[in-house]
């Protein structure tokens, strides 16, 4: 990344996943990246469902490294506890819906809550989270996947609202939601219809989008090709 200058520091949350791992690997080869922190449930015990682990991780990073110029939340799930997105209203299960919101909306909200404090106030900083085009209300043409769509739509609102608050104290910060497209990871295997982007390529695309964004873009929802997605 060039827009964060030399010796920037980055944290990837969800670094054991397909996209998160590819993002971390890509940044690790960037000569401008001085510090890279990888967080995941598998490797570091970071748990979206346990706010204490989120708070502790943010505090530990602050103590060890100070500010973070880039925080990328690459968490999220289509299939949770072996249950995929429902196809109709008749299939709605309140417990499954609550779990979708816990993973895809509440967890990222807690990341924003605790990791915003790591963003520097006097220079460019980026906090990005993975959303999905199916979370767009305006782009919904097919229906279905109600819980997942609703959780991602909620995430988009969380990002927008957080960006307004963060801008008051971090005027150079960019807070955005990103749609990575269909990426060839274990998350998408049961739902793919056609070609999928390799994780390494998806990571490069997302980093390129972040590198190109300017402050007026904060609070936005962008695809892997840099195009804005309607709410």
In sequence order, what DSSP letters do the residues of 137-178 get, joined into one string? STT--S---HHHHHHHHHHHHHHHHHHHHHHHH-TTEEEEEE
What pLDDT is stored for residue 185 in this prediction? 81
What pLDDT is stored for residue 92 in this prediction? 96
Residue 130 in contact with residue 13, Cβ under 8 Å? no
Of 231, 223, 230, the C-alpha closest to 181 is 223
- The CA-atom distances, in angstroms, between 101 and each of 47, 114, 152, 222 are 15, 18, 8, 21
What pLDDT is stored for residue 188 in this prediction? 63
What pLDDT is stored for residue 193 in this prediction? 65
CA end-to-end distance (rounded Å), the chain: 28
Q: Is residue 1 part of a domain?
A: no
Number of domains in the chain: 1
> Domain containing 14: what range?
8-223
Rounded Cα distance between 2 and 157, Å, is 29
Gyration radius of the chain's alpha carbons: 17
Of 211, 207, 198, 174, the C-alpha closest to 74 is 207
Q: Is residue 214 part of a domain?
A: yes
Q: Is residue 230 part of a domain?
A: no
The CATH number of whichever domain residue 75 belongs to comes to 3.40.50.720
Quote the Cα angle for 75-22-183, to 5°: 70
Sequential pLDDT tens for the chain (231 residues) = 999 999 999 999 999 999 999 999 999 999 999 999 999 998 889 999 999 999 999 999 999 999 999 999 999 999 999 999 999 999 999 999 999 999 999 999 999 999 999 999 999 999 999 999 999 999 998 999 999 999 999 999 999 999 999 999 999 999 999 999 999 986 666 665 668 899 999 999 999 999 999 999 999 999 999 999 999
What pLDDT is stored for residue 195 in this prediction? 82
Of 147, 179, 164, 180, the C-alpha closest to 215 is 164
Residue 19 in contact with residue 13, Cβ under 8 Å? no
Q: Is residue 43 part of a domain?
A: yes
Q: Is residue 2 part of a domain?
A: no
Q: Is residue 3 part of a domain?
A: no
Q: Is residue 138 part of a domain?
A: yes
**Which residue in the block uniquely carries the two structure tokens 């924003």?**
112
Q: Is residue 120 part of a domain?
A: yes
What pLDDT is stored for residue 115 in this prediction? 98
């Amino acid at each position: 990344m060039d827009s964060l200058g030399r010796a920037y520091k980055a944290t990837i949350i969800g670094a054991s996943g397909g996209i998160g791992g590819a993002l971390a690997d890509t940044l690790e080869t960037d000569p401008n990246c001085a510090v890279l922190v990888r967080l995941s449930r598998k490797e570091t015990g970071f748990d979206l469902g346990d706010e204490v682990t989120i708070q502790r991780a943010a505090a530990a990073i602050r103590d060890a490294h100070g500010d973070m110029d880039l925080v990328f939340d690459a968490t999220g799930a289509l299939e949770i506890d072996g249950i995929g997105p429902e196809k109709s209203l008749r299939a709605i299960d309140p417990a499954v819906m609550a779990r979708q919101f816990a993973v895809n909306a509440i967890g990222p909200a807690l990341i924003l809550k605790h990791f915003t404090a790591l963003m520097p106030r006097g220079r460019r900083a980026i906090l990005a989270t993975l959303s999905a085009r199916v979370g767009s209300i305006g782009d919904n043409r097919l229906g279905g996947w109600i819980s997942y769509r609703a959780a991602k739509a909620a995430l988009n609102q969380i990002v927008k609202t957080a960006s307004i608050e963060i801008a008051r104290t971090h005027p150079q910060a960019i807070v955005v939601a990103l749609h990575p497209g269909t990426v060839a990871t274990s998350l998408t295997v049961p739902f793919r219809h056609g070609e999928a982007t390799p994780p390494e390529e998806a990571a490069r695309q997302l980093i390129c989008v972040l590198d190109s964004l300017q402050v007026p873009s904060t609070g936005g929802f962008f695809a892997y090709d840099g195009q804005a997605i309607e709410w």
